[in-house]
């Protein structure tokens, strides 16, 4: 979304690791085991689950006279603690941070939050597409084969879906299908997917010990030195004997849009006007990338609307000059419960404008926009819900999600080597079943 204040960063919060996708998802957003390089994208709008990157606010002159009565209990408490607390030394910075956290928490909004400085920077992970970690992708999978379970435990396993080529994970011998049993000698039972990721990721040069279970082999313990890893966010290939172009997006980092344009140009140059855009498990990212990608298929008009706290609605329109706006281009978009935020902006725009057929299951349903605002004195930052985003037809999908045009019911368990969503997409495009499974990545 376009921020109300262009100088402040925004997001639409579902994927930046702040909100776990619902259990209804067939595949939860796959999480890269890594820490993003710290990168502050000032003035950029994000839709990882609804962010903008916020700017530092000007310091206030003190409590306004009209609010002194309301704030007196706060100042009385602060003064009593700093003057009379006898339990130990009072950390004034921690006291102020706790007060800020309490104010944000009192809103009861799961998408608004306060983070200290280090955590704030760590929360921006993945935006740049570069990470510090071991370079593996993981997902939670129940013992019956369905993905997206939580918490981890005997019936909900942490599965490696893909070691990124050239990464420390690949060099150490980690394989797709390996089960992560423990990290640093500690069990993962009771953790969410994000919490497990946090245990595995870490700065370049540090070492993490991971115990893996592999079918037909004894448990394997590996010590892996973390490094900088480039995430693979765009996968492009041909299907159905070269007659269909397939593009999978794992996120919406700054460089993704250009990679998608190149992939589209290659498919169209190869006379592949039947396309599949796979947004399953995609948690979102930069809204600027979402706008550019949607604009490759939509020639003009709104891509989405933003509605602020006063009810004012402003549209963000197609950029023009898209490479796949012609009527000969037939597009199917795959979505599921892990499709969130910026990915929902793209899917919703393509659905409302009748430029694509949506196939799969209900998307995540993240329809609010958060703005990060940095605080002075290294106090960190807070993320506040400041707007709603709506589809071109002004639908608000928050807590609802996008309903596919073609709903695909998945068998339980899903047979190995089968992708019912992709098979249905190929049938809609007049092609036969593909039969291969394509994992989503983050």
Give the pairing of strands 368-374 and 357-360.
unpaired
Q: What is the DSSP letter of 29?
A: P
Q: What is the DSSP letter of 383?
A: E
Q: What is the DSSP letter of 54?
A: P
Q: Within 10 A of 100 (CB to CB), how many other CB atoms are there?
A: 18
Q: Which residues contact residue 281 at a Cβ distance below 8 angstroms, ignoring those fewer than 6 apart?
A: 25, 27, 28, 29, 30, 139, 250, 336, 338, 339, 439, 440, 441, 442
Q: Which of 359, 296, 380 is nearest to 123 (CA)?
A: 380
Give the pairing of strands 207-213 and 220-225.
antiparallel
Within the chain, what is the greatest distance between any pair of CA atoms?
77
Query: Do 13 and 59 touch, CB atoms closer than 8 A?
Result: no
Q: Please list the residues that pair with 390 across neighbouring strands.
A: 305
Q: What is the DSSP letter of 22?
A: P
Q: Please list the residues that pair with 305 across neighbouring strands.
A: 315, 390
Q: From CA 270, how far away is CA 262, in angstroms rounded?
A: 12
Q: Give the angle 13-16-17 at the CA atoms, nearest 5°.
A: 110
Please give the positions annotated as active site: 341, 352, 366
Q: From CA 344, how far away is CA 391, in angstroms rounded?
A: 9
Distances (CA, A) of 200 to 101, 188, 313: 27, 11, 42
- Cα 73 → chain centroid: 40
Q: What separation, in Å, do the N-terminal and C-terminal C-alpha atoms of the chain show?
A: 21
């Amino acid at each position: 979304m376009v921020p109300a204040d262009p100088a402040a960063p925004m997001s639409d919060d579902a994927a930046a690791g702040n909100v776990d996708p619902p259990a209804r998802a067939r595949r939860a957003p796959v999480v890269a085991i890594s820490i993003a390089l710290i990168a502050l994208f000032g003035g950029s709008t994000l839709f990882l689950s609804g962010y903008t990157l916020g700017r530092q606010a000007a310091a206030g002159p003190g409590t306004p006279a009209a609010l002194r009565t309301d704030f007196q209990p706060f100042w009385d408490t602060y003064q009593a603690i700093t003057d009379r607390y006898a339990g130990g030394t009072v950390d004034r910075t921690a006291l102020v941070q706790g007060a800020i956290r309490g104010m944000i928490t009192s809103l009861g909004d799961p998408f608004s939050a306060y983070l200290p400085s280090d955590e704030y920077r760590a929360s921006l992970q993945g935006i740049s597409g570069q990470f510090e970690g071991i370079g593996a992708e993981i997902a939670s999978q129940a013992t019956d084969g369905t993905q997206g379970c939580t918490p981890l435990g005997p019936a909900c396993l942490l599965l490696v879906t893909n070691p990124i080529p050239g990464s420390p994970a690949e060099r150490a011998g980690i394989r797709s299908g390996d089960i992560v049993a423990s990290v640093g000698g500690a069990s993962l039972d009771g953790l969410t997917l994000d919490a497990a990721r946090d245990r595995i990721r870490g700065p370049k040069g540090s070492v993490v010990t991971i115990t893996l279970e592999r079918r037909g082999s004894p448990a394997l313990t590996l010590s892996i030195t973390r490094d900088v890893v480039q995430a693979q966010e765009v996968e492009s290939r041909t299907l159905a004997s070269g007659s269909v172009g397939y593009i999978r997006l794992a996120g919406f980092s700054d460089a993704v849009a250009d990679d998608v344009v190149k992939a589209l140009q290659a498919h169209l140059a190869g006379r592949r006007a039947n396309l599949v855009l796979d947004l399953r498990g995609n948690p979102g990212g930069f809204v600027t990338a979402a706008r550019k990608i949607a604009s490759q298929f939509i020639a003009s008009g709104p891509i989405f609307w933003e509605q602020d706290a006063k009810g004012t609605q402003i549209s963000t329109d197609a950029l023009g000059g898209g490479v796949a706006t012609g009527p000969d281009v037939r597009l199917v978009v795959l979505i599921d419960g892990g499709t969130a935020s910026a990915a929902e902006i793209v899917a919703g725009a393509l659905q409302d404008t009748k430029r694509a057929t949506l196939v799969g299951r209900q998307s995540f349903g993240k329809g609010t926009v958060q703005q990060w605002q940095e605080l002075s004195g290294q106090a960190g930052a807070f993320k506040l819900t400041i707007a709603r985003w709506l589809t071109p037809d002004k639908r608000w999908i928050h807590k609802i999600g996008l309903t596919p045009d073609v709903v695909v019911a998945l068998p339980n368990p899903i047979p190995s080597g089968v992708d019912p969503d992709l098979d249905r997409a190929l049938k809609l495009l007049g092609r036969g079943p593909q039969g291969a499974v394509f994992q989503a990545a983050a």
